[in-house]
Chain A
Amino acid sequence: MSLIIDRRLNGKKKSTVNRQRFLKRYRHHVKAAVQDAIDQRSITDVDSGSDVTIPRKDLSEPFFHHAQGGHCGHVHPGNHEFHRGDRIQRPPGGDGQGSGAGQTSDGGEGADEFVFQINRDEFLEYLFDDLELPNLLRKELKDSTDYQLKRAGFSTAGSPDRLNIVRSLRAAHARRIALSGKDRKVIRTLKRQLRAMEVSPDPADQQQATALREEIKSLNKKLKRLPFIDDFDLRFNNMTKVPQPSSKAVMFCVMDVSGSMTQEIKDMAKRFFLLLYLFLERNYEAVEVVFIRHHSEARECDEHDFFYARETGGTIVSKALLLTHDIIERRYPPSQWNIYIAQASDGDNWGEDSTKCYDIILDKLLPVCQYFAYVEITDLHHQNLWYEYATIAESYPDHFAMQHIHSYSDIYPTFRRLFEKKEGTHVGR
């Protein structure tokens, strides 16, 4: 008799492990595909899945088989014109008709490329693989809310769920030994006397023996009255709260939205920040992001305004930097926060302002922040700002980095360069 089973509710993801193994094995192919995808996407769909294409020959699993050549036969169906002895031109390349039924073809399919999809999470994972925030330090916090419970020996008071049974029983045992010591000594002496009497029986001893037995009995009773476990035997696991140093971090995104920034440059800047934002959002739960956009005035705004609103005007970079400093002073004391600043602009700035920027960064920002990343997006020659910044980069290579972006395809590599994992500097999050 047949058995009919409904297996539809069983697990569907049996192949997940194999799929992951496959992705891992072809990691570099997937990474390349992700980079291609990020170059071509519009800003709104940077974070979605992607197609990955791998040349089929890279994937083939070898097995022993014959190549073309030698002497072999083929049988095909559907003859309508051939007769015995007909000679046919050998098809060029040896493919096609010649490789008929008798042979197994590589992979069974003609397509040269193997295409599959990865989902959003996998896409982002490959996108931000091996990236990290540089110089991230654990900052000690006085008013830390982050505690960890640690064991700290045993105590005689506590809640029942912390009761340590072994310790408690051991204490009870010790107490029973200590309190009963004298009585047990007496019992032992009495028993010895009793045995001596039994060895040399004497009618006169009869009465004394009974008395001795009585005494032993009463002493034993007394011993039994000792409580097996008492309140002060109880031992509890003791836990204490240890404040945890936490690594809070804030990222300032500073973007120039002035009139000199063309729509294309703005798009590139936004894309850079979007990558940064996705990276932070994905890897650091506790990272706060502050968006600052500026032209001749600087303003803090929310994520939506930052990426989508339009504005024009002149450019005064120092105002944005001052605003950054202002916000740091008000909300993010450097003793508690890891501070990161990323700035994007086309390099255009109001005349004398660049030296001012130099001073602000050097005196006010660099001492408090972990890392300052500057990207300049321009096809033109560098202006004042770049050269001022370049001198900073020279003197503080670990904390100040700058990169130049020419086109869309530079964005992702530049982003990677700025946030690459650096050996030895990793402190942990």
Chain B
Amino acid sequence: MLAAEAPESHTIRRKQPLSTGSEWTFELLDLYDREFARLADKFRLDTYPNQIEVISSEQMLDAYSSVGMPLMYNHWSYGKTFLNNQQNYQRGRMGLAYEIVINSNPCIAYLMEENTMPMQALVIAHACYGHNSFFKGNYLFRQWTDASAIIDYLLFAKHYIAQCEEKHGVSAVEEMLDACHALMNQGVNRYVRPAPVSAEQEQARLREREAYIQRNLNDLWRTIPVSEQSQSHQDERFPKDPEENLLYFIEKNAPLLETWQREIIRIVRKVAQYFYPQRQTQVMNEGWATFWHYHLMHEMYDEGLITEGFILEFLHSHSSVVFQPAFDDPRYSGINPYALGFNIFRDIRRICEQPTEEDREWFPDLAGSDWLDAVHFAMKNFKDEGFILQYLSPRVMRDMRLFSIDDNDINPYLEVDAIHDEQGYRQLRENLAALYNLGNREPNIQVYDVDVRGDRSLTLRHYLHQNRPLDRDSTHELLKHLHRLWGFDVKLDSVDQDNIVQYTFITKSTGSKEQVKVTSKKRINR
């Protein structure tokens, strides 16, 4: 972007700090942004154009509560988040995030007016050049989301849902959204890449889709007697192959839903799909952004563009961002993705520049290579799981003093199965990587069968992974939601590796009320 600008033009200013006070102005923001852009260019950070928006803390609270998006349809749960944040903020229990950045083209980043100049600079470096280049470069984002269309699509969604509320009543729409939100994590395609969303196409396809779905449904739910020949197909399961995207399946096949209800499912599905890459790259994304704000700020300092006080304030906030309390610390709440990601990225650079014997053995390709190439390669081609598996070095494991615990409910005790030592490195790294695999973290639930000719009941299967049971209370609630969407009985079987049903959740419709019963073939391990 700034490639045309000759570096000489800056040599004059290099000794002069850009600012000395802590107050920011729009001119200063612009000045800092130019400098960061120049440095980002030097480090080959390829970004979408930036749109930096200065907002107040109230507006930040608003943005917070609508999942960070600048516009979103209305739903009570966003009101709940808002009240919660507002309360915590007012009582001083929570500082607001310094920034929110949105994966869109142009990339929108929010700066809070209350921040000081060093903070604003940190945020610009972190969001506008760190996250932004990640959104543009990482393969998951490139493949699965269309940054230029998301804002338009959300606008379409907001209008559509507002129209539905007018036509069908707020409570009817709310019921749909409740059910869809509950199933949001089961509304993404993990393996099949969906077409990127686009608002205009959505509008155009709406009608077409309506007609098509209705026609297909009619075929599926035909009640006219069929001839002998075609009855032989009855034994086949529907769907033929289990379907992992529950919302998609319901949208296309639920017998009683109206067109607008299907469209709402679709909207929730699209939003879930949009956020899916973010859920898979938290460590990398935050690590990358932190790594770059750290480097860009130091680069500025080395050039004399920022003062000592400035860099000290920056370091103070930086170190609180990457602070990792130990497991026995009362502040501990899991591994801090900023810290883990930052440590790994920084270690990649160290391995490239000052490799030790150990590094040469563990990362023969990396040791001594160009660090900029290495970090860019890592950023572009991995998600959290693979990133950790590939790049977590013994050094980082030692520095963070990681240890792994094996929790098996057939044993009355927990066992430490790996620590940061020679025998443990590989095991530890595998264990940590597995924790970032969404496939392990989230229950694997698929549509297994529909009793098409009979009572139209829907059977889901939960494939037990390492014998981990489903949470009962929430599963009860979810089955009620599913029942509301599907319109007929819903059954959920938890099956083990040998496809033997371990326990079952069933909804039975009695009038308008749904009840969920649990039957268990085996004692459920506590």
A77→B335 contact, CB < 8 A: yes
Residues of A within 8 A of B417 (CB): 73, 84-85
The residues of B that contact A4 with a CB separation of less than 8 Å are 26, 29-30, 33, 52-54
Contact A66 to B471, CB < 8 A, known contacts A2-B128, A20-B79, A75-B403: yes
CB-based nearest A residue for B37: A2
Nearest-neighbour CB distance to chain A for B251, whole angstroms, equals 18
Q: Among B58, B84, B432, B478, find the residue whose CB has the most chain A CB atoms closer than 10 A.
A: B84
Asked whether any CB of chain B lies closer than 8 Å to the CB of A202, the reply is no
| Interface hit among B140-148, B375-383, B418-426 | B418-426
* A41 contacts partner chain B, Cβ-Cβ < 8 Å: no
Distance A114 CA – B469 CA, assembled complex (angstroms): 28
Give B418-450 as 1s and 0s: 1 = Cβ < 8 Å from A's Cβ atoms. Answer: 111101100010011011000011110100000
On chain B, the residues within 8 Å of A80 by CB distance are: 326, 401
Q: How far is the CB of A21 from chain B (nearest CB, A)?
A: 4
B428/A71 in contact, CB under 8 A: no
Q: Taking CB as reference atom, which chain A residue is nearest B335? A: A101
Residue from the set A13, A19, A24, A67 with the largest chain B CB neighbour count within 10 Å: A67
What number of residue pairs across chains A and B have CB atoms under 8 A from each other? Answer: 269
B59 at the binding interface (Cβ < 8 Å): yes
* 9-residue interface stretch from B181-189, B195-203, B214-222, B231-239: B181-189
A6 within 8 A of B: yes
Interface residue from A1, A15, A62, A68 paired with B478 (Cβ < 8 Å): A62
Contact B432 A75 (CB under 8 A): yes
Q: Which residue of A lies closest to B110 (CB)?
A: A7
Evaluate whether A74 and B435 lie within 8 angstroms (CB atoms) in the complex, with A21-B75, A64-B186, A65-B443 already known: yes
Q: Is there contact, CB below 8 Å, between A117 and B435?
A: no
Tell whether, in the assembled complex, residue B80 and residue A59 are in contact, meaning their CB atoms are under 8 Å apart.
Answer: yes
Residues on A with beta carbons closer than 8 Å to the beta carbon of B419: 79, 82-84
Q: Which of A87-95, A282-290, A355-363 contacts B (4 or more CB under 8 A)?
A: A87-95
Tell me if A243 counts as interface (CB < 8 A to partner B).
no
The CA of A51 and the CA of B467, in the complex, are separated in Å by: 44
Interface residues of A in 53-76 (CB under 8 A from B): 59-76
Q: Looking at the complex, which one of A15, A59, A60, A86 makes contact with B66 (CB distance below 8 Å)?
A: A15
Q: Write out, one digit per residue, whether chain B residues 381-410 have a CB within 8 A of any chain A CB (1) or not (0).
A: 000000000000000000011111111111
Nearest CB in chain B to that of A94: its residue: B526
Instruction: Encode contact with B along A2-28: 1 for CB under 8 Å, 0 otherwise.
Output: 111111101011110111111111000
**Among A15, A69, A98: residue with most chain B CB under 10 A:** A15
Q: Closest CB-CB distance, B110 to chain A, in whole Å?
A: 8
Which residues in window 93-131 of A have CB below 8 A to B? 97-98, 100-104, 114-117
A78 within 8 A of B: yes
Give the chain A neighbours of B421 by CB distance below 8 A.
84
For the complex, is B76 an interface residue (Cβ under 8 Å from A)? yes
A317 to B414, CA, bound (A): 79
* Alpha-carbon distance A2/B33, docked complex (angstroms): 7
In Å, the complex CA distance between A88 and B403 comes to 13
Contacts of A15 in B (CB 8 A): 61-62, 65-66, 78-79, 82
**Chain B residues, CB < 8 A from A12:** 56, 58-59, 62
Given contacts A65-B442, A115-B87, A116-B87, contact A73 B435 (CB under 8 A): yes
Whether A72 pairs with B468 at a CB distance below 8 angstroms is yes
In the complex where A4-B54, A71-B467, A88-B416 touch, is A66 in contact with B443 (Cβ < 8 A)? yes
Within 8 A of A (CB), among B162-198: 170, 174, 178, 181-186
Instruction: From A1, A7, A21, A88, give the contact of B53 (CB < 8 A).
Output: A7
Our pick among A20, A22, A66, A97 for the contact of B469 (Cβ within 8 Å) is: A66
Contact A19:B474 (CB < 8 A) given known A2-B51, A70-B468? no
Specify which of B66, B86, B401, B481 is in contact with A79 (CB 8 Å cutoff). Answer: B401
**A51 to B, closest residue via Cβ:** B87
Tell me which residues across on chain A come within 8 A of B37, comparing CB atoms: 1-2
Whether the Cβ atoms of B50 and A2 lie closer than 8 Å is yes
Query: Please, which residue of chain B has its CB at the minimum distance from the CB of A86?
Result: B416
| A64 and B79 contact, Cβ closer than 8 Å, known pairs A2-B128, A4-B30, A75-B432 | no
Nearest CB in chain B to that of A104: its residue: B441
CA A82 to CA B327, docked complex, whole Å: 12
Q: Contact between B26 and A21 (Cβ–Cβ < 8 Å)?
A: no
A21 near B416: Cβ-Cβ < 8 Å: no
Which B-chain residue is minimally distant from A1 (CB atoms)? B1
Contact partners of B423 in chain A: CB under 8 A = 84
Q: Which residue of A lies closest to B325 (CB)?
A: A78
Give me the interface of A with B, judged by CB distance under 8 Å.
Answer: 1-8, 10, 12-15, 17-25, 59-80, 82-90, 97-98, 100-104, 114-117
Pairs A–B under 8 Å by Cβ, sample size 18: A5-B53, A7-B54, A12-B62, A18-B74, A18-B76, A19-B82, A20-B79, A21-B74, A63-B183, A63-B474, A66-B443, A69-B524, A73-B431, A73-B435, A77-B327, A78-B325, A80-B401, A84-B417
Q: Spell out B's residues near A (CB within 8 Å).
A: 1-2, 26, 29-30, 33, 37, 49-56, 58-59, 61-63, 65-66, 74-80, 82-84, 86-87, 106, 113, 128, 170, 174, 178, 181-186, 324-329, 332, 334-335, 400-410, 412-421, 423-424, 428, 431-432, 434-435, 440-443, 445, 464-475, 477-478, 481, 524-526
